[in-house]
Amino acid sequence: MVLPKAELHLHIEGTLEPELAFELARRNGVELPWAGTEGLREAYRFRDLQSFLDLYYELMAVLRTERDFEDLADAYLARAAAQGVRHAEIFFDPQAHLARGVGMGTVVEGLWRALGRSPETHGVSTRLIMCFLRDESAESAMATLEAAEPYLDRITGVGLDSAEAGHPPAKFREVYEAAAGLGLRRVAHAGEEGPPAYIAEALDVLGVERIDHGLRCVEDPALVRRLVRDRVPLTLCPLSNVRLRAVDTLADHPLPAMLDAGLMCTVNSDDPAYFGGYAGDNFDAVQRVLGLSRERLRELARNSFLASFLEDDEELRAR
Ligand code: ES4
Ligand code: ZN
């Protein structure tokens, strides 16, 4: 039986499979520098987060119209549903699109065409989380929040992603305060390639309710105690960590030790088209390689619903 689960760490642009990328390129008259889907897949050998991000932003050139974003989200939701995902909290990166002349309305309305009907078409409920690119300025993040104001009925929260090292959470204090004032939920990537101190800073300065990744908390025992005490959810992405070399191999992943320490872990896919698997593939991999028990897998699935932004009644229906 496939375990019902919620996906809490998923970049919609990271679900762009090579086949759809080439189809959209053809549809939009965009020329791609790779020799077909196989040539593109060969470029998926990443040294680190930045080498991935370079390709991730480059391939977004094929996303131009509302229909492109609709097709992207529909394809993701179909794959997720097939792997037991009942609820998905979906990140998107508006600045990466605005910079290419693709408007906020095109992105949000396009995604919404698929998300709005997803409970019926895929049996998956959704939330949208708008991420700020932390390697861009705080002023750009604030302008992005302002550009999103007409669409806030469709956006549940804000997040922080892209290149982490050298871009501490505190840089975005004001924009997170403004987001909270608008009633938005708050999450942030921290402790993926950045230091454990960024995890504490995201909690203390940005007021986030979850930490995306949070992997490097294991380097700071006092921080682990705090995260356990406060039951701060961590949205881990094991296959992403392998592909971006945050761990040497999946067998070296600290997930079992993190669960044993009492951390509230969840397992997610991050950018599944690039990292070799969707949510269910990540669950299967940690079961197989890390030997997690059935009870631990059920705990991960339960945590995913508890850590979601679903209301209590919706949450019970989803799981
Ligand atoms: C990302 Cl794996 C990862 N880390 C940070 N930012 C991102 N954006 C898309 N995938
Ligand atoms: Zn991520």
Among 95, 237, 270, 275, which is best to mutate for testing ligand 1, by the most ligand atoms less than 8 A from CB? Answer: 270
Ligand 1 neighbourhood includes 242 CB (under 6 angstroms): no
For 187, the enclosing helix (H) or strand (E) is strand 185-190
Indicate whether 297 pLDDT > 90. yes
161 lines ligand 1 (CB under 6 A): yes
User: Where do the domains of the chain lie, and which CATH numbers do they carry?
Assistant: 5-307 (3.20.20.140)
49 lines ligand 1 (CB under 6 A): yes
Quick: pLDDT tens for 31-51: 999 999 999 999 999 999 999
Please report the atom of ligand 1 found closest to the CA of residue 192: 4
**What separation in Å is there between the alpha carbon of 279 and the centre of ligand 1?**
16
Ligand-binding annotation for 253, yes or no, is no
**Under a CB-based contact definition with an 8 Å cutoff, are residues 94 and 175 in contact?**
no
Phi, psi (rounded to 5 degrees) for 224:
-60, -45
Contact 159 CB / ligand 1 (< 6 Å) = no
What digits encode the pLDDT tens for the residues 78-124? Answer: 999 999 999 999 999 999 999 999 999 999 999 999 999 999 999 99
| Distinct helix (H) and strand (E) counts, the chain | 17, 8
Between β-strands 210-213 and 5-11, what pairing exists: parallel, antiparallel or unpaired?
A: unpaired
| Integer CA distances (angstroms), 12 to 45, 138, 217, 291, in order | 20, 23, 26, 29
Give the count of beta carbons closer than 10 Å to the beta carbon of residue 317.
12
ipTM of the complex: 0.97
Residue nearest to atom 3 of ligand 1 (CA): 162
Place of tokens 């969707």: 278
Cα–Cα distance, 284 to 274 (Å, whole number): 17
Residue found under tokens 């992105």: 107
256 CA distance to ligand 1 middle (Å): 23
Residue 317 has pLDDT above 90, yes or no: no
Q: Identify the nearest ligand to the CA of 270 by its number.
A: 2
Q: What is the CA(13)–ligand 1 centre distance, in A?
A: 10
pTM for the model stands at 0.98
Closest CA to 65 of 111, 130, 31, 17: 111
| Residue/partner pairs of 95-102 with CB below 8 Å, 24 or more apart | 95/132, 95/133, 95/136, 95/140, 95/141, 95/144, 96/13, 96/57, 96/60, 96/133, 97/60, 97/63, 98/144, 98/147, 100/60, 100/61, 102/63, 102/64
Tens digits of per-residue pLDDT, 213-250?
Answer: 999 999 999 999 999 999 999 999 999 999 999 999 99
Mean pLDDT of 132-137: 98
Q: Which of 53, 59, 134, 172 to mutate to test the pocket of ligand 1 (most atoms within 8 A of CB)?
A: 53
Nearest to 160 by CA among 141, 139, 182: 141
Q: Pick the residue whose CA is nearest to atom 2 on ligand 1.
A: 270
11 annotated ligand-binding residue:
yes
Measured from the Cα of 244, ligand 1's closest atom is 2
Residue 167 known to bind ligand = no
Q: Is 271 in the pocket of ligand 1 (CB under 6 A)?
A: yes
Ligand lying closest to the C-alpha of residue 191: 1
pLDDT band at 29 (very low <50, low <70, confident <90, very high): very high
Confidence of residue 318 (pLDDT cuts 50, 70, 90): confident
Distances, alpha carbon 266 to alpha carbons 65, 192, 235, 281, 283, in Å: 33, 15, 5, 14, 10
Q: Which ligand is nearest to the CA of 210?
A: 2
Calculate the alpha carbon distances from 212 to 61, 293, 303, 304 in Å.
Answer: 26, 24, 14, 13
CB atoms within 10 A of CB 45: 9
